[in-house]
Amino acid sequence: MALRNGKKADAIDVDPGDVTLQARNVKFDWSRTPLHWIPGEPIASHTLSAINLILPEGERWFCATFTEALPLINDDRLRADVRGFIGQEAMHAETHNVVLYEFLDAHDVDPRPFVLQSEYLMRKVLGRREMGSDRAQRQQLVERLAFIGAIEHMTAFLGDWILNARLEDFDADPAMTDLYRWHGAEEVEHRNVAHDVAMYFGVGYVRRNLAMLVSYLAFLVVMTRGLKFIVHADPTMRDRGYFTLWMGLLAAMRRGSLPGLSSLFRGALRYLDPRYSPQAEGDTAQAIAYLAKSPAARAAA
């Protein structure tokens, strides 16, 4: 389906019209990116870097689930959106997978132990399981689609945050900033798809919000564990307990190098609105404008 345009009052004034989802090739050079890629903000740097520990497997799980759902979708326009979504998410998975080794591994942070946990979570806990009947198999698929709809809501409002965050004020590394803005812009661009698919498969109000509750809590837990994993491996930092890490997280949030806890909470609450629409999350025109100028996308063109 050609996606409808969402607008912010203070964002880009050019209406991009209907948008056809497509994967974009990107090319990054990590050779000059320091481990603390936001200078003076090691906790913020490692928190955002921890996203790379979970994203490749998470994006592959999205692709596998939507590939399973695709033959069951009879709406041609939605099928086209799903194909575009799968293409973009597959590119996200491969790009963030490269970061694990060309960036983290190169800085003596071995991502493999955490990646094995991510694989177990996405493939065994959340992956497809063979059920005893077609009806049970479909319900297991619908449960996964409910979770993906909730997670994609979070990635949409986080994508909007990274597009508007003033990371340049912190002298953040341009390549890593571009990575997250390219990804965030595509999350804003395709923000309708997972919700549309969940609605197509009959995910109701209660189920989708239970999925949001579980996804939100899991996100906080996994990201904190990923942060601790990188801090533990960082030879320039002393190891810290979870309480100390959370104090550092809250301080970074107050400085603006991470999205604030209150904004994360408000973002999750918006999903509870019975009238919820993904269109409220981000601005399509702003996302398209960034994708047109992304250094990594232009380098691969």
**pLDDT tens by residue, 21-60:** 999 999 999 999 999 999 999 999 999 999 999 999 999 9
Does residue 35 fall inside a structural domain?
Answer: no
Degrees to nearest 5, angle at CA 285 with 300 and 93: 40
Q: How many domains does the chain have?
A: 1
Q: What is the pLDDT of residue 301?
A: 77
- Residue 19 is predicted with a pLDDT of 77
Residues 155 and 178: their CA atoms lie apart, in Å, by 16
pLDDT at residue 42 in the model: 97
260, pLDDT greater than 70: yes
Mean pLDDT on 141-151: 97
Please say whether the beta carbons of 103 and 30 come within 8 A: yes
For residue 2, what is the DSSP state?
P
Mean pLDDT of the chain: 93
Instruction: Please tell me the predicted confidence (pLDDT) of residue 4.
Output: 39
Q: Which residues contact 193 (CB under 8 A, 6 or more apart)?
A: 3, 21, 81, 82, 84, 85, 152
| Domain contains 158 | yes
d(CA 28, CA 32) in angstroms, rounded, equals 11
Q: What is d(CA 105, CA 100) in angstroms, rounded to the nearest whole number?
A: 6
User: Residue 114 in contact with residue 55, Cβ under 8 Å?
Assistant: no
Residue 14 scores a pLDDT above 90: no
3-class SS of residue 19: strand
Of the candidate ranges 14-18, 63-67, 100-104, 259-263, the one whose mean pLDDT is the lowest: 14-18
Residue 6 has pLDDT above 60, yes or no: no
Average pLDDT over residues 200-213: 96
Closest to 211 in 3D by CA, of 196, 220, 224, 198? 198
Average pLDDT of span 287-296 = 96
Higher local confidence (pLDDT), 176 or 5: 176
- Per-residue model confidence as pLDDT tens digits over 148-192: 999 999 999 999 999 999 999 999 999 999 999 999 999 999 999
Of 61-70, 176-185, 186-195, 265-274, least confident by mean pLDDT is 265-274
The pLDDT value recorded for residue 9 is: 38
- Asked whether residue 237 is assigned to any structural domain, the reply reads yes
Q: Say if 98 falls within a structural domain.
A: yes
231: in domain: yes
Name which of 149, 263, 152 is nearest 209 in CA terms.
Answer: 149
The answer on pLDDT for 13 being more than 50 is yes
Report the SS3 class of residue 21: coil
**Residues spanned by the domain of 174:** 42-300
Q: Is residue 28 part of a domain?
A: no
Q: How many CB atoms lie within 10 A of CB 19?
A: 20
User: 216 lies in a domain?
Assistant: yes
Residue 133 has pLDDT above 80, yes or no: yes
CATH of the domain at 211: 1.10.620
Give pTM, 2 decimals.
0.92
- Is 204 in a helix, a strand, or coil? coil
Can you tell me the distance from the alpha carbon of 225 to that of 197, in angstroms, rounded to the nearest whole number?
31
Domain assignment of residue 229, yes or no: yes
Give residue-wise pLDDT tens across range 223-242.
999 999 999 999 999 888 99
